[in-house]
Every structure is written in C-alpha cells, then in structure tokens.
Amino acid sequence: MLSDLLSNTLTLADALLGQGGTGSGTMPAQPTTTNTPGLTAVLKLDAANLLDLKASLGTGESLLVVSGNVFERQSDGALVDLGLDIGTAPTATSSLITVGGKILAQGTNGSLIDLNLGIGTDGLIGATPPAAEAGQTQDVFRFYNVDTGVHFYTASSVERDSVINNLPQFKYEGNAFDVSTDQGAGPEVFRFYNVQTGTHFYTASEAERDTVRATLGQYNYEGVAYTAYSTDGGGTHEALYRFYNVETGAHFYTTSEVEVASVQQNLHQFQYEGIAYYVDAA
C-alpha cells in the first residue's frame, strides 16, 4: 500500500540517487514499486510517518493543517493533534515545511522532496481539489482576538470550527466577505503568521510576499489563503480596505465603508493603506 502511495506522490529525482534508483538523476516516466526505496531510507522520520498515516486513514478520516500543526480529523469529527509541525524551514524537531500550499520534506541526504500532499480546501491535506465552476464563491470568516486586539480571517470551515472549539480568546464575528473558488479569478492572497505577536498578515502582492519572506524572519509563510479579485468587476465586487496599526504592527481589513470611516475618525493609530484587493459581499 505504501509503495503504491509513494510511487504516486513523491518527487524522487534527488532522493533516489544512491538509493537504488536511476543514476542519472532524472525521473522515469512511470516509476514502479520495484525501484522505490523504503520510506525511512529516503525521508526523515516525521515525513515518513506522515505518509504512513495518510495511507492508513480509515473511512471518514482526514488530515488537516491548522497554524502549522497537523491534525487528524476522525470520522466522528474529533481533531487529534499528531505532533507534526509544518514551518517555513526544516528544524531539529520537524523536517516538514510548507511552500505555496505544498508540503515538502527534507530527505536524509538534505534534499527537499515534494510529498504532493498540498493544503487544499478547508485545510485538508490531500490531492488538489477539482476545479470549481465559474462564479462560485466561498465564505471568509472573521474572528477578534481579545488578547491581541487583532482580527483573524480564514476561508476554511475546518479551521473556523477548530478555532471556535479550542481558542476561546478568539471571538467569532461571522462571515466577513466572500471570495471566488476559481483559482484563476484573480490574485492569490498569501497568509503569514507573526511568531512574535501571534497575529496574521495577508497580502495579494507577490512582491510584498517575497519581501516579507526575505527580510522579516518573524513571519512564517503559511501559503495561499484564498483567491481574490484585482478589480471591482464593473461594480460586481467590493473593495477590501487595509489599515496598519503603528502601535502593534498588525493590519486590519474591512469591506465596510462605515467601519473605514469610524476607524479613520476614532482610531488614529491605524494608518489607512488603501484597497488591498477586491472581494464579494457576504
């Protein structure tokens, strides 16, 4: 079972070298189980365990990622923390990292291997979900963290429910706005987690994403949060406005022009940064 999974999910161009694979470093068109090395010969233990667990899940069970932690969702809906952390670089405790929604593992020879277990709909680790029909939307939910005074946004209903059930300091504020389920509808919105402040940052700018990753080490890149729009679509979409809190270093996002006016009038520590991108009304 694992050998079948491995042949379908691992990019082994580097890992197979010296492990019984092709000596040229190129992948055969259809790798077979006969030249597939054992998991522990290629992958560090946490990555091998992740694939092993993925292959052994029962009906109705799945894996999901919440703020860099891997959970197993059982058939009764319960979430079990597997103790596997996914960060932005391999560490002493975990060789798993996430880059652009993909999960990579550090091989025993130091190379990075694509496990092809990307973070898909609702944070599920699995195959890429099928393409959505044009015009479909999904909710983006908003929370207010009473400890930090900062809002948190997620398009994942699984993550929403996990936060509601496990993080009482996050007060649920409902559906803030909607976004497209069509990945080609507009720019991807990238999500970061600030390990110093415990807050999240969102941007649809690839240049800003790359700058943050290159210069701000306290921000862990968590991949694509959802898909937005680059224009108002002739009035079809509405603007999402962005503020920067000079006191906390956190950002605030809202589609409400009333809320924008209230913040500008009453909360002078918030600097208005304009329209971040466009979304759909909730």
In a domain, 131, yes or no: no
In a domain, 228, yes or no: yes
Mean pLDDT of 218-235: 93
Assess whether 150 and 248 both reside in one domain. yes
In a domain, 17, yes or no: yes
Assess whether 144 and 117 both reside in one domain. no
pLDDT tens readout for residues 24-59? 333 333 333 333 345 556 667 776 676 666 666 555
CA 132 to chain centre: 19
Q: Pick the residue with more confidence: 62 or 255?
A: 255
In a domain, 195, yes or no: yes
H or E segment at 41?
helix 39-42
- Confidence band of 136 (pLDDT split at 50, 70, 90): confident
What is the average pLDDT value for the chain, to the nearest integer?
Answer: 75
Assess whether 150 and 119 both reside in one domain. no
pLDDT tens readout for residues 153-187? 999 988 999 999 999 999 999 999 999 988 888 99
- Confidence band of 243 (pLDDT split at 50, 70, 90): very high
Assess whether 118 and 161 both reside in one domain. no
Assess whether 157 and 250 both reside in one domain. yes
